[in-house]
Amino acid sequence: MIVQSNEMKTSKMILTKCLVLAGLPRSCYCALKTLLLKTDYRRWRRNSMEQPSWDGRNERLAKLIPNGSQVIDLGAGAQTLKQHLGRDCSYQPCDLVKSSPDCLVCDFNAGLYPEKTQDYDFVVCSGVLEYIREPKEFIGRIITYGKTVIISYNLWDGKPSGKFSRLSQGWVNHLGPSDLEGYFEALGVPFEKVDDWHGHFIYRLRPLR
């Protein structure tokens, strides 16, 4: 469970009231909240309890994972990826919110990563990278957890209006294809684009050992 300080709660309340009183459209409110709040704890607590509208992406990701694999799900949310994996897969959830007794608590934007206790067959990041403030550092950390990394990302189209749209969805970084794939290359990680789910490109990375 994530515990927030009274100071953080008070700051969030003041921010919310100011934005509401300003009469801003919801998209502006959401974009400003993304810029001003390092982590939207309320959003992720809610997310951990709801069936996500993007679960089709998890279903596509699961098809890339053979039955019997050991899987760690970084940013597991409601843990629906588990439902799509083969019955003999072992599943380790990891999230900002401890949604189950076995869930490892992490806060990537605060530098809190799960302790590495084994090499997993697959490291899954489904719809997580858009919310990471230091994406290159994040990728460099997660590739140490397993033999294969499957990561999704909705690439920025390079337009200012596209950046505003991303901020209004809570996305804190804006990477084009050359930016993201440049990170993979700079980290020396072989990669391939293997699928596309409604504009969310799915990459498979195979870290060198």
* H helices present in 37-159, as ranges: 41-47, 55-62, 81-84, 135-142
pLDDT of residue 37: 63
List the single range of 46-50, 161-165, 175-179, 190-194 with lowest mean pLDDT.
Answer: 46-50
Confidence of residue 22 (pLDDT cuts 50, 70, 90): low
So what's the pLDDT on residue 168?
A: 86
Is the model's pTM score more than 0.85? no
Residue-range domain boundaries for the chain: 45-205
Instruction: Quick: pLDDT tens for 56-111.
Output: 999 999 999 999 999 999 999 999 999 999 999 999 999 999 989 999 999 999 99
Query: In which residue are the tokens 């799900």 written?
Result: 73
Helix residue ranges, H only, the chain: 6-21, 26-36, 41-47, 55-62, 81-84, 135-142, 160-168, 177-186
Residues 129-158 have pLDDT tens digits of 999 999 999 999 999 999 999 999 999 999
Model confidence pLDDT, tens digit, residues 113-134: 999 999 999 999 999 999 999 9
Class assignment of domain 45-205?
A: alpha beta
